[in-house]
Amino acid sequence: MLELMGLGFISGCLVSISLGFIFFLLIETAISSGWKAAFRIIFAVLLGDSILLGLALLFSQSLAQTLREFGPFLHLVAGLMFLIMGLYQLWKPKSTSRVSQSKSTALFVPAFLINVGNPSNWTFWLVLYSAPPVSLASVEGKWAFGLSALASIVACSAAVSFIAAKTGKYLPEKSVLHINQVVSLGLIAVGLYWLFFVG
């Protein structure tokens, strides 16, 4: 059990600090609106990962088959979603205010959709639950692994947002807008990749 919890904690930490676009969105929000505002994104990620974890735990085999059958359609949906969000983020009106609670609140839904709609995230949870040692564990062991991974995701994301918020206040407003542009272009690039190069 302790081995599974340790593996879950390491897995959650790795996925939370990987160079995904939720990671950059979290940093941008923490810098522009503070670490408390970034917790809305962390909660969105926690909610999305909890859903994916539950589905992987209960239906890992059938979901893996479904992903194989409907892969091209899922890639199309994911690509369009990333592309639309990236374009909106890039061309929406820019605010010079560092504290924008309405903006950080509005990011909850996009963050949730990015997390749940990312096929890589589905694959991450399905692979973990379909391969040893997790696939061979008892039901209690699988839950211990999953809950440990979720706790690690929250803890690592909170640490990243806190550090970003503390260091970000020393950055000029122009740098914050540049970070926003990087996030936007990254979302567009991922969307184009899923549309034209996957599947």
Asked whether the bond before 133 is cis by omega within 30 degrees of 0, the reply is: yes
pLDDT at position 91 is 74
Length of the chain, in residues: 199
Task: Work out the end-to-end distance of the chain between its first and last CA atoms, rounded to an integer number of angstroms.
Answer: 37
pTM here?
0.68
Give the largest Cα separation in the chain, rounded.
Answer: 52
pLDDT at position 99 is 42
Q: What tens digit of pLDDT does each residue of 23-76 get? A: 777 887 888 777 778 888 889 889 999 998 888 887 766 655 666 666 677 667
CA distance readout (Å), 123 to 32, 64, 74, 90, 157: 32, 8, 12, 28, 20
Sign for the pseudo-dihedral over CA of 50, 120, 160, 29: negative
Name residues of the chain where pLDDT drops below 50: 96-102
Rg (CA), the chain: 17
Query: In the chain, what are the domain boundaries?
Result: 2-196
Under 8 Å between Cβ of 57 and 142: yes
pLDDT at position 17 is 66
d(CA 135, CA 162) in angstroms, rounded, equals: 35
